[in-house]
């Protein structure tokens, strides 16, 4: 998969050299390129923002650098059409289902906004000919899209075949079956007067599976009842 990121803080993304995504880049499974939005400005101060029409607090990112940066990437990627993703607290919620969808794509382009947002016409222009999605991590506000994009790339990247060594570790996780994960234990069997639940030491695989399911349901009902189908 090819991933392009447009940002005014390219140095944020140096962490994508390490861990799972870093390995996937080294092995060629992920071709990740970071672009500095300011390279697409043409004034002495490399201006990317301006005051909002209609007034109000803060600054809005100007459309022209975005247009130029995205045009350049579009001219360079496969012609089946990348998905343009803009992290935004005003977007649709990012979920495991969306991560699975995006992991099927050949090209993703992430545009990291800062300030009060990006001129709406950037989204409207590229939606005329392609797929544009505004995506939010949740109901809180970040200063910019960079950290959100890193979260999304980690969630998507690990679903690309070959990125996670043991694909079985992908299936028994929180959210993959719509429920939260069951609690996990390893040796020693007793630690600081806390015992591992005896069923896990029983060797009875049926009983263990049933216990884990019950734990998933109990935990989900307790902390995330919104994930459960409505009773009746």
Least Å distance, CB 214 to ligand 6GU, is 33
Q: Which residues 93-122 are close enough to bind ligand 6GU by CB under 6 A?
A: none
What is the rounded distance in angstroms from the CA atom of residue 175 to the CA atom of residue 135? 18
Which residues in 16-99 belong to E strands, given as ranges? 31-36, 49-50, 60-61, 83-93
Q: Is 138 in the site for ligand 6GU (CB under 6 A)?
A: yes
Q: Are 31 and 164 in contact (CB under 8 A)?
A: no
Instruction: Give yes or no for residue 90 binding ligand 6GU (CB under 6 A).
Output: no
Determine, following the binding rule CB under 6 A, whether residue 16 of this chain makes contact with ligand 6GU. no
CA 217 – CA 180 distance, rounded (Å): 8
Scan residues 148-177 and list those touching ligand 6GU (CB under 6 A): 148
Q: Is 137 in the site for ligand 6GU (CB under 6 A)?
A: yes
- Interface with ligand 6GU includes 145 (CB under 6 A)? yes
Interface with ligand 6GU by CB under 6 A: which range of 144-152, 162-170, 197-205, 224-232?
144-152
Element (H, E) at 111: strand 107-111
Sign of CA dihedral 15, 138, 71, 66: negative
- Strands 83-93 and 107-111 turn out to be parallel
**Binding-site annotation, residues for S-adenosyl-L-methionine:** 113, 137-142
CB 149 to ligand 6GU: min, Å: 8
Q: Is 136 in the site for ligand 6GU (CB under 6 A)?
A: yes
| Neighbour-count burial of 181, counting CB atoms closer than 10 A to its CB (0-12 exposed, 13-18 middle, 19+ buried) | middle
Least gap, CB of 141 to ligand 6GU (angstroms)? 5
Q: Is 87 in the site for ligand 6GU (CB under 6 A)?
A: yes
Which residues bind to ligand 6GU, rule: CB under 6 A?
87-89, 135-138, 140-142, 144-145, 148
């Amino acid at each position: 998969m090819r991933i392009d990121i447009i940002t005014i803080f390219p140095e944020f993304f140096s962490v994508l050299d390490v861990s799972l995504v870093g390995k996937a880049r080294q092995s060629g499974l992920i071709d990740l390129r970071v672009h500095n939005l300011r390279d697409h400005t043409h004034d002495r101060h490399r201006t990317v923002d301006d005051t909002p029409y209609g007034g109000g607090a803060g600054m809005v990112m100007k459309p022209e650098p975005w247009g130029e940066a995205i045009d350049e990437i579009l001219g360079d990627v496969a012609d089946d059409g990348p998905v343009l993703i803009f992290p935004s607290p005003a977007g649709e919620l990012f979920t495991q289902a969306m991560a699975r969808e995006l992991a099927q794509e050949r090209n993703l382009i992430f545009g990291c906004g800062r300030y009060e947002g990006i001129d709406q016409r950037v989204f409207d222009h590229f939606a005329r000919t392609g797929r544009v999605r505004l995506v939010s991590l949740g109901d809180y506000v970040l200063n910019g899209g960079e950290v959100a994009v890193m979260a999304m790339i980690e969630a998507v990247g690990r679903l690309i075949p070959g990125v996670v060594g043991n694909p079985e570790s992908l299936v028994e996780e929180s959210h993959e079956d719509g429920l939260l994960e069951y609690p996990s234990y390893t040796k020693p069997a007793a630690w600081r007067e806390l015992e591992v639940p005896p069923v896990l030491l029983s060797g009875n695989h049926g009983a263990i599976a049933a216990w884990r399911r019950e734990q998933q349901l109990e935990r989900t009902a307790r902390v995330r009842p919104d994930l459960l189908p409505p009773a009746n």
